[in-house]
Amino acid sequence: MNAQQYNQIFDNVIEKYHVIDRVDQHFDNPFPNDILEHLLYRKCWIDTVQWHYEDIIRIPDIEPVQALVIKRKIDASNQDRTDMVEFIDSYFLKKYKNVSVLPDASFNTESPAWAIDRLSILALKIYHMQEEANRESANEAHRNSCQTKLDILLQQREDLSSAIDDLLNNLSEGKKYMKVYKQMKMYNDDDLNPMLYKKE
């Protein structure tokens, strides 16, 4: 697979979500759970639902109790997102584990999965900026401004896709190697967040 195929999966996920356009809709992954496509589909679904949670929580007159419920869902979603990134990196670590690393090989500051994470978010930005660029209820200045931003986002996706393909090619040829640091989030951990371990 290449980055263009990742983008196609992400676009399909976002289109599928917007058929019903509800954060509480049923999730159905069409791919077997032992292939990369399954992880990518799941990752983008998490991102898409969270995007809309973030919209909801910014409603000016949202009820405080509802806002707290949504905030908890965003927190849980962030953890799911991080877990999926680590699953994707584990896939690539396994894929390239037998590659002979060249003596002058280097590693990226960003792992493949975190770059793919940005690609998934870009797909969401592109979808929603396209909506704004075409929104008939908006004035022409708004639509033109959004079209300019959309053009930049599309170029950004092209550049990032190329960079991801280059990184994966370099990993497969031993010119780069993976060095992955697990996320060590503290606020969700009962043993690390003082607001949790000090509770009586």
pLDDT in tens, 9-57: 999 999 999 999 999 999 999 999 989 999 999 999 999 999 999 999 9
pLDDT single digits (tens) 115-137:
999 999 999 999 999 999 999 99
Q: Could you tell me which residues come within 8 angstroms of residue 97 by beta carbon, excluding any fewer than 6 positions away?
A: none
Q: Is pLDDT of 164 > 90?
A: yes
Q: What are phi and psi of 176, to 5 degrees?
A: -135, 160
Distance between CA atoms of residues 176 and 172, nearest Å = 8
Q: Is pLDDT of 112 > 90?
A: yes
**The tokens 């992955």 sit on which residue?**
180
Identify whether the C-beta of residue 44 lies closer than 8 Å to the C-beta of residue 84. Answer: no
- pTM, to two decimals: 0.91
Band (108; pLDDT cuts 50, 70, 90)? confident
**pLDDT attached to residue 180:** 76
**pLDDT attached to residue 111:** 94
Burial 52-71 (b: 16+ CB within 10 A, else e): bbeeebeeeeeeeeeeeebe
Distance between CA atoms of residues 47 and 44, nearest Å = 5
Distance between CA atoms of residues 183 and 143, nearest Å = 39
Identify whether the C-beta of residue 77 lies closer than 8 Å to the C-beta of residue 105. Answer: no
For all residues of the chain together, what is the average pLDDT?
A: 94
**pLDDT attached to residue 200:** 54
